[in-house]
């Protein structure tokens, strides 16, 4: 897990000599796929990054968006996949800690956490159950100890994640624009390491995460300590208020090697560092161990000589450990000392910028074999609907989110379990944020799959009354050296670009995670999209549906069951036609729904996605504890069979609950926007009934549906 022969030759030519063993380790950490993005950076540069609210975008620890009135929000997303597959509690917990420090690096207070989790088939796989339980516990314990609410996320189970785990954590920060860290440095400034002591945990973590998971290398997994992190947050924010911080970076992947080289390169300065001054957790640590350790809860701060004493006083007051480890120079090199001896000296720009790769790509052969499938016979749809509601991918995730303190900080206006959480901001506005992914769709059609994930995340925030203002992505794939896998990565980038440009939603950050595979093979393409939405006035807080309230559908249902939960969970069919997004009609649908929400015409809005119309209607009925009679023959659609009408996962669809007195005004708005819509149902009683003209095609009792939906995930895990 070191440099390739070509990289070694490149390095030797760049520095004009053979590197010593420590220099090799420093460069190997920074040039790992995890830290350098050497396979993906060329393609990531094509993502649209400009926007009227964008203050800083990709390339920084966190993206920054202006939300008006002198305030900003920051956002970042990270993964901790390999560590979580080996040690799920610690791996997931340190994933939370790392992304929180990315938010802190901008000088903003972290105000929320979201997670995206993926595991094997927990219905049949006990190991997947164990990974799931402990990863959730790690996230819950870390976030709860910090006092930062975990407000949302999404979960997916699939056989492609057998013996593995994808643990994605996103975080949002909030602060005043004038207090953002400016990231500058001058000769003679001090380099200070603040926070947890450096130990031998996490050594080689970035290289460990940049190869197929073959062994359980526990030494590469970091040890979490949320109580230190809490103190570090308060110390950093007080130091920011006292103007003690000129530049700052989280110590994440690659440890000091990456933090020093990237800071030096970004600020166009040199840094001289003495590893003997670092506060340590263990004795007799070598310079190599100190430079590549990924011990957690550490921040690198650059401060001026005038402010050094004040910074020390703040750390001592809050009992946060620190060490003054170096100084800023002007020679653009990173010089590593051990006491009086120079043990490594390298040009920062060489270390921080790995030679980029232009990997070959070819269309996967499997796509030809799954493009056309034999359609299944329509089963008993009442039984099928109940089975779908107990599917772990669709069932309520309350077993997970009730472990999270999602109200701490008193900002949470809409809690987990709805389309998207909503947070109150200090300027009277509200922030809605959602992350979405769908590996099944992305396997069947990588480009349309990721466009669908983007569209779903937008629909989720629109359902709260928010206008999308920015996005982050997390692109997770197998071995990029395989041309077929790299093709799926490139297709995903193309999909994100197409959607982001059309909707004018800038990319402000993201993460690429490659080599996600085990001896069982690679994961399915699993890009994740996070969308941030801003609410200028008030959010749509769902009101309970009552008898005689009407159900309106916006959007068209098509014969698009490829990658659907219905095909895979009920019929074990992989393939078919993946849902595609018509950008023009999707934009019109979103704008129309936003307008009726802003005019206060609707009781609630819900997007129609995983599980299709049958599941989406059932979710409304179960949440509001009321039945509904739905006429599927009124659904705007192509000529579809009953099961296709119920379970197609066509995008760009919304379900609106409305009081009868508001119906005419709602229709006027929808007609003005020229969007396909229809009143398809009326709420009453205790049964969820779907009719096609006079024929009942599915009927389930609300209480029976609730029993399946609410309890299946918890009962599965409790028996694990």
Q: Is 715 part of a structural domain of the chain?
A: yes
pLDDT at 417: 85
Report d(CA 458, CA 454) in Å as an integer: 6
Report d(CA 22, CA 288) in Å as an integer: 6
> From the CB of residue 369, how many other CB atoms can be counted at a distance below 10 Å?
11
pLDDT in tens, 271-301: 999 999 999 989 999 999 999 998 889 999 9
Instruction: Work out the angle at residue 180's Cα, subtended by the Cα atoms of residues 176 and 184, and round it to the nearest 5 degrees.
Output: 160
Q: Is 8 part of a structural domain of the chain?
A: no
Contact 244, 310 (CB under 8 A): yes
pLDDT at 210: 42
Q: Is 40 part of a structural domain of the chain?
A: no
pLDDT at 209: 42
Asked whether residue 719 carries a pLDDT value surpassing 80, the answer given is no
Structure tokens at 115: 């997670």
pLDDT in tens, 392-431: 999 999 999 888 876 776 788 988 888 999 999 999 999 9
Asked whether residue 694 carries a pLDDT value surpassing 90, the answer given is yes
Average pLDDT, the chain: 93
Q: Is 680 part of a structural domain of the chain?
A: yes
* Domain count across the chain: 1
pLDDT at 178: 95
State the DSSP H helix or E strand holding residue 500, giving kind and residue range, or none if neither: helix 483-503
Mean of the pLDDT values across residues 175-204?
A: 91
pLDDT in tens, 462-474: 999 999 999 999 9
Sign of the dihedral through C-alpha 445, 447, 450, 451: negative
Work out the percent of the chain whose per-residue pLDDT is above 90: 82
- pLDDT confidence tier of residue 216, bands split at 50, 70 and 90: low
Mean of the pLDDT values across residues 127-152?
A: 91
pLDDT at 202: 63
pLDDT at 465: 97
Report d(CA 446, CA 450) in Å as an integer: 6
Q: Is 262 part of a structural domain of the chain?
A: no
- pLDDT confidence tier of residue 218, bands split at 50, 70 and 90: very low
Q: Taking the model in full, what pTM does it have?
A: 0.94
pLDDT in tens, 318-365: 999 999 999 999 999 999 999 989 999 999 999 999 999 999 999 999
Contact 301, 238 (CB under 8 A): no
Mean of the pLDDT values across residues 607-624?
A: 97
Asked whether residue 642 carries a pLDDT value surpassing 80, the answer given is yes
Asked whether residue 208 carries a pLDDT value surpassing 50, the answer given is no
Residues with catalytic roles:
34, 80
- What does the DSSP assignment read for 594-615? HHHHHTT--SEEEEE-TTHHHH
Q: Is 699 part of a structural domain of the chain?
A: yes
Mean of the pLDDT values across residues 464-492?
A: 97
Q: Which domain holds residue 591?
A: 542-720
Structure tokens at 37: 């993005």
The CATH number of the domain holding residue 582 is 3.90.650.10
User: For 469, left (φ over 0), alpha (ψ -120 to 50), or beta?
Assistant: alpha
Asked whether residue 201 carries a pLDDT value surpassing 80, the answer given is no
- What does the DSSP assignment read for 618-659? HHHHHHHT--EEEEGGGS-BSS--HHHHHH---SSEEEEEE-
Q: Is 592 part of a structural domain of the chain?
A: yes
pLDDT in tens, 559-612: 999 999 999 999 999 999 999 999 999 999 999 999 999 999 999 999 999 999
pLDDT at 558: 97
Q: Is 313 part of a structural domain of the chain?
A: no
Report d(CA 623, CA 627) in Å as an integer: 11
Report d(CA 200, CA 221) in Å as an integer: 10
Rg (CA), the chain: 26
pLDDT in tens, 519-573: 889 999 999 999 999 999 999 999 999 999 999 999 999 999 999 999 999 999 9
pLDDT at 406: 67
Q: Tell me which residue has tokens 């009953």.
A: 642
């Amino acid at each position: 897990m070191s440099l390739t022969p070509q990289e070694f030759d490149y390095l030797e030519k760049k520095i004009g000599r053979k590197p010593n063993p420590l220099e090799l380790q420093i460069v190997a950490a920074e040039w790992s796929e995890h830290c350098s993005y050497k396979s993906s950076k060329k393609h990531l540069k094509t993502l649209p990054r400009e926007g009227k609210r964008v203050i800083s975008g990709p390339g920084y620890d966190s993206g920054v968006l202006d939300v008006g009135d002198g305030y900003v929000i920051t956002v970042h997303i990270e993964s901790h996949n390999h560590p979580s597959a080996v040690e799920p509690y610690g791996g997931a917990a340190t994933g939370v800690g790392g992304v929180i420090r990315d938010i802190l690096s901008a000088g903003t207070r972290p105000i929320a956490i979201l997670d995206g989790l993926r595991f094997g088939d927990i219905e049949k796989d006990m190991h997947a159950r164990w990974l799931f339980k402990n990863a959730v516990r790690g996230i819950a314990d870390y976030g709860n100890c910090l006092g930062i609410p975990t407000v949302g996320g999404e979960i997916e189970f699939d056989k492609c994640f057998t013996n593995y785990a994808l643990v994605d954590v996103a975080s949002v920060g909030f602060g005043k624009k004038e207090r953002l860290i400016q990231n500058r440095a001058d000769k003679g400034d001090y380099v200070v390491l603040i926070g947890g002591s450096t130990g031998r945990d996490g050594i080689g973590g970035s290289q460990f995460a940049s190869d197929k998971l073959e062994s359980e290398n526990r030494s590469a997994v970091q040890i979490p300590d949320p109580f230190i992190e809490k103190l570090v947050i308060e110390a950093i924010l007080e130091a920011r208020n006292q103007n003690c911080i000129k530049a700052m970076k989280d110590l994440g992947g690659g440890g000091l090697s990456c933090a020093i080289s990237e800071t030096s390169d970004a600020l166009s300065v040199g840094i001289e560092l003495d590893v003997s001054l670092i506060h340590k957790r263990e004795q007799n640590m070598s310079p190599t161990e100190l430079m590549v350790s990924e011990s957690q809860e550490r921040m690198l701060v650059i401060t001026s000589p005038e402010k050094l004493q004040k910074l020390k006083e703040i750390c001592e007051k809050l009992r946060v450990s620190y060490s003054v480890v170096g100084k800023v120079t002007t020679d653009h090199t990173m010089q590593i000392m051990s006491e009086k001896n120079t043990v490594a000296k390298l040009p920062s720009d060489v270390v921080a910028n790995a030679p980029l790769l232009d990997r070959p790509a070819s269309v996967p052969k499997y796509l030809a074999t799954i493009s056309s499938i034999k359609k299944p016979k329509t089963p008993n749809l009442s039984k099928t609907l109940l089975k779908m509601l107990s599917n772990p991918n669709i069932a309520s995730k309350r077993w997970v989110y009730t472990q999270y303190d999602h109200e701490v900080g008193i900002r949470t206006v809409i809690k987990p379990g709805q389309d998207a959480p909503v947070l109150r901001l200090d300027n009277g506005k509200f922030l809605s944020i959602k992350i979405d992914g769908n590996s099944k769709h992305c396997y069947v059609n990588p480009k349309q799959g990721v466009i669908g994930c983007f569209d779903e995340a937008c629909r989720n925030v629109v359902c709260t009354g928010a206008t999308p203002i920015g996005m982050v992505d997390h692109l997770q794939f197998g071995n990029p050296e395989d041309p077929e896998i790299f093709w799926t990565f490139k297709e995903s980038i193309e999909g994100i670009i197409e959607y982001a440009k059309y909707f004018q939603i800038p990319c402000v950050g993201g993460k690429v995670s490659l080599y996600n595979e085990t001896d069982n093979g690679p994961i399915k393409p699993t890009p994740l999209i996070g969308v941030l939405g801003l609410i200028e006035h008030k959010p749509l807080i769902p009101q309970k549906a009552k008898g005689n309230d009407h159900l309106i559908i916006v959007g068209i249902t098509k014969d698009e069951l490829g990658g659907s939960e219905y095909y895979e969970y009920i019929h074990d069919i992989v393939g078919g036609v993946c849902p595609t997004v018509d950008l023009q009609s999707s934009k019109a649908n979103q704008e129309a729904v936003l307008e009726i929400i802003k005019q206060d015409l609707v009781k609630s809005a819900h997007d129609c996605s995983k599980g299709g119309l049958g599941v989406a209607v059932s979710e409304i009925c179960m949440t509001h504890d009321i039945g509904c009679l739905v006429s599927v023959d009124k659904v705007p659609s192509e000529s579809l069979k009953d099961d296709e009408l119920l379970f197609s996962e066509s995008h760009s669809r919304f379900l609106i609950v409305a009081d009868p007195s508001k119906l005419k005004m709602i229709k006027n708005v929808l007609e003005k926007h020229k969007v396909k819509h229809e009143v398809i149902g009326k709420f009453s009683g205790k049964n969820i009934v779907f009719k096609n003209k006079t024929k009942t095609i599915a009927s389930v009792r609300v209480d029976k549906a609730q029993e399946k939906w609410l309890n299946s995930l918890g009962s599965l895990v409790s028996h694990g």
